[in-house]
Structure 1
Amino acid sequence: MEQIDQAHSKPRILTGALVGGLVMAPLMALLYLGDVFAGLPFLPFDLFDWISRTLPGPLITFGIDTMVDLIRALNIGELDETAKLAEQTIGLTTFLILGIIAGMILFAILRRRPQPTNVITGVIFGIVLVVPLLAISSLVNTTATASPIVGFIWSIVLFAGFGATINWVYNVLAAERAASPVVDTPAQASASALDRRQFLVRVGGASATLTVIGAGLGSFLSGGLAGLGSSGSSVPAFDPEEEILTGAGQPLPNADAAVTPAPGTRREYTPVEDHYRIDIASRPPVIEEESYTLPIHGLVENEVAWTLDEIRAMPSVEAFITMSCISNRVGGSLISTTKWTGVPMQHILEQVGPLPEAGALYIMGADGFDEYVDLELIREDERIILAYAFDDAPLPQQNGFPLRIHIPNHYGMKQPKWITDIEVVEQAGEGYWVRRGWSPTAIVKATSVIDTVAADAVYEQDGQSFVPIGGIAWAGDRTITKVEVSVDDGEWQEALLREPMSKRAWTIWRYDWPFQAGNHTFTVRCTEEDGDLQIMDEQPVRPDGATGLHSVSETLNQPA
C-alpha cells in the first residue's frame, strides 16, 4: 500500500509531455536567436533535412504531392514560397514533438528514483539528447557560420538547461505532492490539484514569454522573418507602360516585338527575387565567397581548385533562359525566365583535360544534392554553362550562389545549385532525385498556359467587341511555332505569337476572342518546331513531368 501511495504521489508521465513541450518552445526560440545573431546551427531544420533525405523516395514523393495538393486546394500563396514555409513548419513541429517525448521519458526516469533533490539527472539527459542531434547537424547543416566548437558548446548548454528545467519542474511537483496532507474529501483533493495546475500555468506563462522574446528578438536582428522562408512575392503582370531593362540597364532583345501581351499576362522577364525556387534544404546554404574554391578532380590530367574570381575571368556567355521544375503541375507557377551568365562547360573540360576513360561529371551541391552529367552531352552542346550570374548580378543565395549548372532542354531536377565539388568519373550513375524514383532524363515537355482572360479589357473594333486572352508556351530549347485556343470545346483558333527573347525562353501568345457574354471555358495547346503537338493526355508530374491541356473558366458580362 505504501508503494502505491508513493507512486500516486509522483507527477504523472503525461504531465511530463506537457512540461517537455512548454520547455522546448523557448529552447527553439533561443536556438533561432543564436542562428540569427551568431550564425549558430538551428537544430530543428537540421533534423528535418536529415529526416527528409533519409526517408524512402516514394514516401517523400507522397509527402510532396500531398503538400502541393493542399496548397493548391486552399489557394494559400505562391507554391514555392508556401511549400518551403510548410516544410519549415513541419520541422519546427517535429522538434516540438521531440520535446514532448523527451519530457515524458525524463519524467518516467525520475519517477523510478527516490525523492530528487537536484537536477543532475536532467542535465545528463539533456546532454545525451543533444549529442545525436549535433551529429545529424554536422552532416546536413549548410547555414551555420560560427565555429563548430562554439556551436557544440552552445547546443550542449541549451539542452543541459532543457533537461535541468524539466527536472526542476518535476522536483517542484513531486515536493508539492509529498507535502500535501492526506486528502479525505473531494474539496481537499481539488485544492491540491489546483495548486499544481497554478504552478504549471506559471511555467506555461514563463515559456510563452521566453519564446516570444527569443523569436521576436531574432526576427528583429534578421530584419524580419525572411530567414525562415522564401521572400518572393507574386510575379507582377505585364505592364505596357513599363520599359523592362536587364540588370545592366539594357532593353530586352525582343523589346520591339510586334505582338503586345494581353493585359494580365505574366511579366515576360521574371524579377530575380520572384524566380521560382525548389530545393531539398529547409534554407539555402550559406557559402562565403572569400573562402570558396571549386575543386575539379578525378579522371583528369589537371586537377584544379578555382576561386570564384578565377571562374568569372574565364570566357563567358549570356542567354535568356526559361527554367521549370519537373514537379510543376500543368498551369503551375514553378517556371521563370531571366538572363543567365556563365562559363561554357566545354571550356571547363578543355582546362582540366578528362582522361580517355572518363565518362561523366559527378556534381555535388552544398545542400547535399548530387547529379551526373555525361561528358558526351557537354561535348555535343556548347550551351551548357557553369552559371554565376542572374540578370547581370551574382547569383542570389537562394538561387544557388556561387555556382549552378544549366543544361538546356532539361528540368531543374538535373541541374545542381550551390556547387561545391565536381569529380570526373568513369560513368554516370543515379542522381539525388533519380534515386528517389524520378526521371533519369528529365527532358522538358511542351506546355502552354492561360494567364489571363482580360474581361476588364474588352475593346471594340469595327462594331465587334473582343476580349484579350493571353499566356505563355514553352518547350525547352524547341521553338514554339503555333498556339491555339478553343472556347467551350469548339474549334481551335490560332493565336498571335510574340517573338521570344531567345530560343530557350518562353513564348508569349495572345488571342483576341469575339466577345460573347456568359460562362465560358478556354483551353490552350501549342505546337513545336518539328510539328509535334504538345501531349494532350493528362499525366502526373511523377516521374517524367506533367502533361495535359490547361483550361480556365470565366464568366463574362456584357460590357457597359
Structure 2
Amino acid sequence: MGALGRWVTSARLGGTDIALPVATERAPAFPQGLEATYDGISPLRTPNADFYRVDTRLTVPVVDVDSWTLTIDGDVDQEVTLTFDDLAAMRTVERDITLTCVSNEVGGPYLGGARWLGIPLADVLARAGIDSTGADQILSTDVDGMTISTPLQVALDGRDALIAIGMNGEPLPRVHGFPARMVVPGLYGFVSACKWITRITLTTYDAEQAYWTERDWAVDAPIKLSSRIDTPRPLSESSAGKVIVGGIAWAQHVGIEKVEVRIDGEAWRPATLGPQVTDDYWRQWFLEWDATPGQHFVACRATNKDGDVQSAVRTTPFPEGSSGLQEIALTIT
C-alpha cells in the first residue's frame, strides 16, 4: 500500500486538516526510562509540551499547509518544489534523536529527546539532483526569511538527517516548526535545525552566510560530549542515608559508554546507565550514594564510545558550545 493510503494521525493546525503517514521504516519499541523508578531524572522521552524552544521568533509563524511548499534550488541539476503531500508520499522513517541548543550552559535545560517522523534529507536533495554539485553548504530558509547553514556532508554521510514532519506521534507543533523542519543528529540546532523550512539552497560557504554565521558563531558545530545532574537539585537538602544521584548524558552520533560521579573531590565512581535507545539519543544514569550529614559537592562526567572523556575545561556557549563539568552543592541533614 502506498504512503498516501496509510494515514493514521490527523490534526487541525493552522486551519487545515493534515495527516501523517505510517513510517515506511518504523523505530524499535521504546524502552522504559529510569524516571519510572528514580524520581527526578529527566523522562527518557520529552513530551512535546515540555520540549525546549529556542529561536528568533517573537510570534510563532502560522503556516497554511495547503499553500506551503519546500523548494530545493541553487547548485542542483534542476530546481524542485514539493508540497506537504509530496513529502508525505516519499520514504518516511521514524528516528529517536536528541536535539541540543548551542546556547545551553553546562548543566542547562536546552535539550530534549523525541521520536521524529521524517523524510531522509539525502532523499529530498536527490529529487533535485546533486551528483555533480560543487556546493559545500545547505542554506535553509524559513517562511519568514530566517537562514540556517548546514554542512552538505552531514546529509550524505549516512547519519539520520531528516526533514521532519512529525514529533512523538503527532504533527509538528507550531512552536517546533510546523509543517516541516530539519533535524540533524550530532550538530547544534543553530547549524542544522531550521524550523518552518520552505527553501533549501545548495551553495558554498564562500558565497553565502546564514544568520548566525554573520554573527561570528561557528560554521561547523558538532555537539560536545556532556552530562547533567538532574537530581538532587543544586542547593537542595536531603536526609542522610541512601540518596540517588541521577541525570542524563549525551554524545549524539557517537553514543555514551559510561558516566562517572565524583563526591567531594574523591575518586570517580561508575554510575549505572539507563537503557540504550540509539547513539543519537541521550542516556539516563544513576548512582546510589550513602550520604552523610554536612555540605557536599557532587560532579559528573561522561565518556563516549570512542573513548573520549568529557572535557573539564570550562568554556561559554559562544561560538561553538559550552564545555566543562557540572558540580553542584547540596546539604545532607
- TM tier, smaller: 0.7 to 0.9
Q: Shift of the alpha carbon at 1:449?
A: 0.8
- Residues 1:442 and 2:221 are matched in the alignment: yes
1:406 is aligned, of 179, 183, 206, to 183
Give the secondary structure class of the aligned counterpart of 2:87: helix
The equivalent of 2:123 in structure 1 is: 347
C-alpha distance in structure 2 between counterparts of 1:313 and 1:403, whole Å: 14
The equivalent of 2:203 in structure 1 is: 425
Matches within 5 A, 1:133-532: 253-255=30-32, 262-354=38-130, 356-359=132-135, 360-415=137-192, 416-425=194-203, 429-453=208-232, 465-532=241-308
Q: Shift of the alpha carbon at 1:417?
A: 0.9
Q: Note closer, same or farther for the CA distance 1:492–1:376 as it changes in structure 2 (3 Å cut).
A: closer
Check whether the contact 1:344–1:382 (CA below 8 A) recurs between aligned residues: no
C-alpha distance in structure 2 between counterparts of 1:367 and 1:332, whole Å: 29
Give the secondary structure class of the aligned counterpart of 1:290: coil
C-alpha distance in structure 2 between counterparts of 1:447 and 1:471, whole Å: 11
Give the secondary structure class of the aligned counterpart of 2:71: strand
What is the one-letter code of the residue matched to 1:313? Answer: A
Check whether the contact 1:322–1:335 (CA below 8 A) recurs between aligned residues: yes
C-alpha distance in structure 1 between counterparts of 2:79 and 2:105, whole Å: 42
C-alpha distance in structure 2 between counterparts of 1:313 and 1:375, whole Å: 24
Check whether the contact 2:140–2:149 (CA below 8 A) recurs between aligned residues: yes
Q: Which has the higher helix share?
A: 1
What is the one-letter code of the residue matched to 1:436? Answer: R
C-alpha distance in structure 2 between counterparts of 1:502 and 1:365, whole Å: 29
Check whether the contact 1:261–1:510 (CA below 8 A) recurs between aligned residues: no
C-alpha distance in structure 2 between counterparts of 1:506 and 1:382, whole Å: 16
C-alpha distance in structure 1 between counterparts of 2:238 and 2:37, whole Å: 12
C-alpha distance in structure 1 between counterparts of 2:164 and 2:296, whole Å: 44
C-alpha distance in structure 1 between counterparts of 2:65 and 2:111, whole Å: 28
Check whether the contact 1:500–1:507 (CA below 8 A) recurs between aligned residues: yes
Q: Shift of the alpha carbon at 1:262?
A: 2.8
Q: Note closer, same or farther for the CA distance 1:259–1:333 as it changes in structure 2 (3 Å cut).
A: closer
Q: Shift of the alpha carbon at 1:263?
A: 1.9
The equivalent of 1:546 in structure 2 is: 322
C-alpha distance in structure 1 between counterparts of 2:291 and 2:45, whole Å: 30
Q: Shift of the alpha carbon at 1:350?
A: 2.3
Which structure has more RCO (C-alpha within 8 Å, separation ≥ 6)?
Answer: 2
What is the one-letter code of the residue matched to 2:216? Answer: G
Highest Rg: 1 or 2? 1
Give the secondary structure class of the aligned counterpart of 1:266: coil
Q: Shift of the alpha carbon at 1:252?
A: 5.2
TM-score in terms of structure 2 length: 0.84
C-alpha distance in structure 2 between counterparts of 1:282 and 1:259, whole Å: 34
Q: Shift of the alpha carbon at 1:260?
A: 6.5
1:454-492: CA deviations, max 9, x gaps? 889879xxxxx4211100111122211111111111111
Segments of 4+ moved more than 6 angstroms: 257-260, 454-459
Q: Shift of the alpha carbon at 1:348?
A: 1.4
C-alpha distance in structure 2 between counterparts of 1:497 and 1:424, whole Å: 41
Identity within the alignment, %: 32
1:65-93: CA deviations, max 9, x gaps? xxxxxxxxxxxxxxxxxxxxxxxxxxxxx
C-alpha distance in structure 1 between counterparts of 2:224 and 2:34, whole Å: 27
What is the one-letter code of the residue matched to 2:276? Answer: P
Unaligned 5+ runs, structure 1: 1-143, 146-249, 460-464
Q: Note closer, same or farther for the CA distance 1:426–1:468 as it changes in structure 2 (3 Å cut).
A: closer
TM-score in terms of structure 1 length: 0.51
C-alpha distance in structure 2 between counterparts of 1:306 and 1:258, whole Å: 41
Q: Shift of the alpha carbon at 1:355?
A: 5.8
1:97-136: CA deviations, max 9, x gaps? xxxxxxxxxxxxxxxxxxxxxxxxxxxxxxxxxxxxxxxx
Give the secondary structure class of the aligned counterpart of 1:289: coil
Q: Note closer, same or farther for the CA distance 1:367–1:475 as it changes in structure 2 (3 Å cut).
A: farther
1:416-461: CA deviations, max 9, x gaps? 11101122335664321121011111110111111102889879xx
Give the secondary structure class of the aligned counterpart of 2:66: helix
C-alpha distance in structure 1 between counterparts of 2:119 and 2:87, whole Å: 7
Give the secondary structure class of the aligned counterpart of 1:273: helix
Give the secondary structure class of the aligned counterpart of 1:291: coil
Unaligned 5+ runs, structure 2: 1-13, 16-26
What is the one-letter code of the residue matched to 1:472? Answer: I
Q: Shift of the alpha carbon at 1:375?
A: 3.3
Check whether the contact 2:171–2:179 (CA below 8 A) recurs between aligned residues: yes
C-alpha distance in structure 2 between counterparts of 1:336 and 1:317, whole Å: 19
The equivalent of 1:33 in structure 2 is: none
Q: Shift of the alpha carbon at 1:354?
A: 2.2
